[in-house]
């Protein structure tokens, strides 16, 4: 039985090594392809600059390329800011739902112990009233501008 286990572990570790070698080779090849793609894009931008400089002049072409690349950078930053805001609101909603689930789970876990305590049902009445009051309060309070549930983009 011991030799079977060692044979299985040797096969498994050999396969794991082969998978790691293939992953490393794939990462290297994708990295090289990325470098060559960036070089190709650079030469295409250079060719476009030379062609436009011959038509419109070096100064006008330089200004156009500068404004174009600054516009692209601004567009990327605006898109990032919008998506980061949406992700932050999504994380806040998820965190709120998780905390609610944890609270409900904790309350349900304590319920049998509270029911068996000396106070009996009376010990359950105060937390139940507090929970109902909190639910009524949350239902009637308007969310502020900083509240993730407010729905506006700030």
Tell me what pLDDT residue 115 has.
67
Coil/strand/helix, residue 147 = coil
Coil/strand/helix, residue 31 = helix
Whether the CB-CB separation of 148 and 93 falls below 8 Å is answered with: yes
Instruction: Give the dihedral of Cα atoms 6, 9, 10, 12; nearest 10 deg.
Output: 160
Tell me what pLDDT residue 153 has.
47
Tell me what pLDDT residue 102 has.
81
Helix, strand, coil fractions of the chain, as percent rounded to 5 = 90, 0, 10
Cα angle for residues 58, 60, 66 (degrees, 5° grid): 100
The owner of tokens 């308007």 is 142
Tell me what pLDDT residue 30 has.
96
User: From CA 98, how far away is CA 79, in angstroms rounded?
Assistant: 28
Tell me what pLDDT residue 33 has.
96
List the one residue out of 19, 14, 12 whose CA is nearest residue 4: 12
Below-70 pLDDT ranges, the chain:
1-4, 6-13, 114-115, 117-126, 141-154
Tell me what pLDDT residue 49 has.
95
pTM for this prediction: 0.48
Whether the CB-CB separation of 119 and 113 falls below 8 Å is answered with: no
Tell me what pLDDT residue 47 has.
96
Element (DSSP H or E) covering residue 148: none
Residues 6+ apart with CB under 8 A from 89: 148
């Amino acid at each position: 039985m011991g030799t079977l286990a060692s044979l299985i572990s040797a096969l498994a570790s050999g396969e794991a090594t082969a998978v790691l070698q293939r992953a490393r080779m794939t990462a290297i090849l994708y990295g090289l392809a990325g470098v060559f793609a960036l070089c190709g894009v650079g030469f295409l931008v250079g060719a476009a600059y030379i062609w436009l400089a011959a038509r419109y002049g070096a100064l006008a072409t330089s200004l156009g390329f500068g404004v174009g690349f600054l516009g692209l950078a601004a567009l990327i930053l605006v898109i990032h800011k919008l998506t980061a805001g949406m992700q932050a609101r999504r994380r806040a909603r998820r965190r709120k739902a998780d905390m609610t689930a944890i609270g409900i789970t904790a309350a349900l876990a304590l319920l049998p112990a509270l029911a068996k305590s000396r106070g009996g049902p009376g010990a359950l009445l105060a937390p139940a009233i507090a929970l109902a009051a909190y639910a009524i309060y949350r239902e009637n309070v308007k969310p502020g501008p900083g509240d993730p549930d407010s729905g506006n983009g700030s």
